[in-house]
């Protein structure tokens, strides 16, 4: 569903993504691994439209999306859960989710209410705190809200950046259970994550990148590939 071909992205004069190519298919979780500062987040932001690529191709479901505005990319069916979560200050949990409903146009009021209730059933802690300001939630609850705000738009592909960072093991387990559900439901997932053990437990394939370039591609269930990954990013 997501195809990236010879992508280049700059921040000013800094050449961050340098000819990266990768793909993620329907019902597939693809890990993107590497040390800090090698371009993983910039790669996701390029796909999501938060950063405009300098050259190369990004296609979603066969259609070019590189350079489109973030809202247009979201409406086409790509959700992005950023590392900093981007919970809107001054808005309640429900109001943050209401904004997520804008990702899908054309839904009736009853369909929107049904989508919201479905999210509250899936995330009971958010239901309990629906009137609480989103920024007053715990770190784990904010991460769940960030994920829920994307899921309410029913995306076909999801980009997730460092979902376990700074969270308790119990919350991390819940978040990775959600990623497994998304995979079973047929979503394509691009996952950036420092916790290799948890990430590889949900990934089908992975890419290791360094300085904006793919070093290797591997099968997450292949022991030899996993060992090569560990060696590549530990250098």
Q: Which domain holds residue 128?
A: 2-234
What's the rounded Cα separation, in Å, for the pair 33 and 218? 11
Domain count, the chain: 1
Tell me if the pTM is above 0.75.
Answer: yes
Nearest to 40 by CA among 202, 206, 193, 227: 193
End-to-end CA distance of the chain: 32
Instruction: Write down the pLDDT at residue 126.
Output: 96
Torsion 201-203-207-212 (CA) sign: negative
Quick: pLDDT tens for 160-207: 999 998 899 999 999 999 999 999 999 999 999 999 999 999 999 999
Residue 8, classified by CB atoms within 10 Å of its CB into exposed (0-12), middle (13-18) or buried (19+), is middle
Residues 6+ apart with CB under 8 A from 93: 126, 129, 130, 131, 132, 133, 134, 137, 145
Q: What is the mean pLDDT of residues 202-228?
A: 95
CATH number for 156: 3.40.50.300
């Amino acid at each position: 569903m997501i195809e990236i071909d010879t992508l280049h992205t700059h921040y000013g004069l800094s050449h961050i993504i340098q000819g990266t190519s990768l793909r993620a298919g329907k019902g597939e979780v693809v890990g993107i691994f590497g040390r800090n500062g090698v371009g993983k987040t910039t790669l996701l932001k390029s796909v999501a439209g938060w950063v405009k690529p300098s050259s190369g191709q990004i296609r979603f479901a066969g259609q070019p999306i590189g350079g489109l505005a973030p809202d247009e990319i979201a409406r086409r069916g790509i959700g992005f859960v950023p590392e900093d979560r981007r919970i809107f200050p001054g808005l309640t949990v429900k109001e943050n989710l209401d904004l997520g409903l804008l990702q899908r146009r054309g839904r009736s009021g009853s369909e929107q209410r049904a989508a919201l209730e479905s999210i509250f059933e899936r995330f009971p802690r958010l239901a309990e705190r629906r009137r609480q300001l989103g920024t007053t939630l715990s770190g784990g609850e904010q991460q769940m809200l960030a994920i829920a705000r994307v899921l309410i738009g029913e995306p076909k592909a999801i980009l997730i950046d460092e979902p376990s960072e700074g969270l308790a093991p119990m919350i991390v387990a819940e978040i990775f259970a959600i990623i497994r559900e998304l995979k079973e439901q047929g979503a394509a997932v691009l996952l950036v994550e420092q916790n290799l053990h948890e990430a590889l437990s949900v990934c089908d394939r992975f890419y290791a990148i360094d300085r904006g370039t793919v070093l290797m591609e591997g099968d997450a269930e292949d022991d030899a590939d996993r060992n090569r990954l560990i060696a590549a990013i530990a250098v």
